[in-house]
Each structure stands twice: as C-alpha cells, then as structure tokens.
C-alpha cells in the first residue's frame, strides 16, 4: 500500500474498493485503487464508459464514501470526518466541474458562482458580517466571471446560456472558494471541438499560472493530453500510468499519449 501520510500530496488514496448493487446484483466498480497527487499536478484519468472514472472522482472529492480504503485531502482523512465537517472541508479545498455543467437552474450565473462561498457562511455571524460576507461572495463571483470573460452573463439564468458558457460558469463556481484542488469529470463531454479546446486551455492555464492541482476524468485523448500524468482505467482498476511532457508542444504530447494508448489496445 502506498504511503498516504506524506503531507506533500494534495490528494492521496489507498486501497479504494467500491461496489454498487444493480438489480440486486453487486457490481465491483473500483478495486484496489491507490494513487497520489502532488500539489500543482495535473492528472487525467482515462478509460471507457463504465470503467469507474466518475466513481473514483466522486470518492476522491468526498461525494461518495468508499466501501474500503482511505482518502486524504490536504492530509486529512476525508471519510473520518462527520458529514457536516466533511462538506465544509471539501467545499473549501476541492471544486467540482461536471460534464453536464450542473448549474442550479433557478439561480443566475452570478449566484451560481457565489453559492459555494455563501454556503460556507454560518448562520451564527451577525447581520453586519453576513452582509459583508455576502458582498464579498458576489465580488469574488464578479471577479472570476470577468477573468473568464463571462461578465455580461452575470444576471442570466443557465437555461439561456450556451453549453460552453455554462461550463465556464461551472469552472468559475468551482474556483470560487479558491480551492487547491479542482476535480473535473468529463468537462468537455458535452462540448464541441472549439468549446472543448477553450475549456481545456482554461484548465491548463489554471494549472500553469495558478498552480492549481487538477484531477480530470475523460475519455478523450485530446483532453487528456493537457495533463502531466494520465492514469488508464479498465474494469475498476488502474491499468497504466503515462507521464506526458509538454516541452515539445501539445501535439507531441497528444501523439505520445495516443501511441501509448495504442500499445495498451485502447
């Protein structure tokens, strides 16, 4: 078992097991998963549909407890915490991006972005502090949306915004609490080529310019090629770990990844 106690890892897991019951029949989704993600690392998890990518990300992000194993986020055992504390902790340290954007349809774009910050506020603070934190949350949302060229969409509801823009709002929402870790589950799965490239460049810039740690699940080699490390999953197991270098450009990295995948028969 890997050493998961080293604090230099932003995220680490060891011995993860997970199964679901489908029509009263147990299905093993994850088996003996162990990995470490250092601070500022960009990793991608690749695999076919049903290989367990999303489940792994949900467990790593504190959304789904494993049957067995341990997950350390910023050195803290995530599933040893009570639910309320785990929720606050993961919201503070991890932001989620989903394939289907998953914006709250009844809130405006700005409110969606500000929501994680507002949810961190407790009801115990006095009115003045609440107003201050509320103002700060919306200021942060405005700042992020401006950075992502979404300024004009602040008052729009998600239903009236294009898919690419919705995903950028989802990224802004994930960044709102300023987390060290960003977990992206098929972030380009619903986007066309141009929008996919735009989103991936945005994630890449977050990694390179802001030193964010990014864990991304994808089945697209073009998207995975933006990562430093690619884990290949099959039938709930980590099949291969592929290191990518971007010193020779994105195309070279993508070609290298494709060749490695071809060798694995993928």
Closest residue by Cα to residue 105 from 170, 198, 185: 170
Q: Which is nearer to other proteins, 165 or 244 (CB)?
A: 165
Contact between 116 and other proteins per CB under 8 A: yes
9-48 positions binding other proteins, by CB under 8 A: none
Q: Are strands 42-46 and 213-218 parallel, antiparallel or unpaired?
A: parallel
Rounded least distance, CB 13 to other proteins, Å = 15
Q: Contacts for 65-70 with beta carbons within 8 Å, 24 or more apart?
A: 66/16, 66/17, 66/18, 66/30, 67/17, 67/18, 67/19, 68/15, 68/16, 68/17, 69/13, 69/14, 69/15, 69/16, 69/17, 69/33, 69/34, 70/4, 70/13, 70/14, 70/15, 70/16
Q: Which is nearer to other proteins, 134 or 197 (CB)?
A: 134
C-alpha 195/C-alpha 168 separation (Å) is: 10
Rounded least distance, CB 154 to other proteins, Å = 13
Q: Which is nearer to other proteins, 91 or 196 (CB)?
A: 91
Contact characters 221-260, other proteins, x per CB under 8 A: ----------------------------------------
User: Residues 184, 174, 210, CA angle at the centre, nearest 5°?
Assistant: 85
Q: Name the phi and psi angles at 221, rounded to 5.
A: -65, -35
C-alpha 102/C-alpha 31 separation (Å) is: 28
Tokens 């709002």 belong to which residue?
169
Contact characters 65-104, other proteins, x per CB under 8 A: ------------------xx--xx--x----x-x---xxx
Q: Which is nearer to other proteins, 9 or 98 (CB)?
A: 98
Burial of 163 (0-12, 13-18, 19+ CB in 10 A): middle
* Span near other proteins by CB under 8 A; candidates 5-13, 155-163, 233-241, 255-263: 155-163
β partners of residue 183: 96, 215
Q: Which is nearer to other proteins, 30 or 72 (CB)?
A: 30
Size of interface with other proteins, in residues (CB under 8 A): 40
User: Residues 239, 213, 15, CA angle at the centre, nearest 5°?
Assistant: 40
Rounded least distance, CB 79 to other proteins, Å = 13
CA atoms within 13 A on the CB side of 166: 21
Q: Which is nearer to other proteins, 28 or 134 (CB)?
A: 134
Contact characters 122-141, other proteins, x per CB under 8 A: xx-x-x--xx-xx-------
**The binder of other proteins chosen from 107, 221, 222, 258 (CB under 8 A):** 107
Q: Which is nearer to other proteins, 122 or 208 (CB)?
A: 122
Residues that bind other proteins (CB under 8 A): 54-55, 58-59, 63-64, 83-84, 87-88, 91, 96, 98, 102-107, 111, 114-116, 118-123, 125, 127, 130-131, 133-134, 157, 159-160, 173, 177
């Amino acid at each position: 078992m890997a050493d998961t106690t080293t604090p230099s890892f932003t995220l680490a897991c060891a011995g993860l097991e997970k199964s679901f019951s489908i029509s009263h029949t147990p299905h093993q989704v994850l088996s003996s998963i162990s990995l470490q993600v250092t601070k500022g690392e960009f990793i991608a998890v690749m695999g076919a549909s049903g290989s367990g990518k999303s489940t792994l990300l949900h467990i790593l992000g504190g959304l789904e407890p494993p049957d067995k194993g341990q997950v350390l986020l910023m050195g803290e055992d995530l599933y040893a915490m009570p639910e309320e504390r785990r929720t606050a902790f993961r919201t503070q340290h991890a932001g989620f991006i989903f394939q289907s954007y998953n914006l709250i349809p009844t809130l405006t774009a700005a409110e969606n972005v500000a929501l994680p910050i507002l949810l961190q506020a407790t009801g115990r603070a006095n009115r003045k502090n609440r107003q201050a934190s509320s103002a700060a949350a919306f200021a942060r949302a405005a700042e992020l949306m401006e950075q992502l060229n979404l300024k004009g969409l602040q008052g729009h509801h998600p239903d009236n915004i294009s898919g690419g823009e919705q995903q950028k709002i989802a990224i802004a929402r994930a960044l709102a609490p300023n987390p060290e870790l960003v977990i992206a589950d098929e972030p380009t799965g619903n986007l066309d080529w141009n929008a996919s490239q735009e989103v991936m460049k945005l994630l890449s810039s977050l990694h390179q310019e802001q030193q964010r740690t990014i864990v991304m699940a994808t089945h697209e080699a073009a998207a995975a090629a933006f990562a430093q490390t690619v884990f290949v999953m099959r039938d709930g197991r980590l099949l291969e770990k592929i290191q990518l270098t971007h010193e020779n450009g994105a195309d070279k990295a993508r070609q290298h990844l494709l060749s490695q995948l071809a060798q694995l028969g993928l």
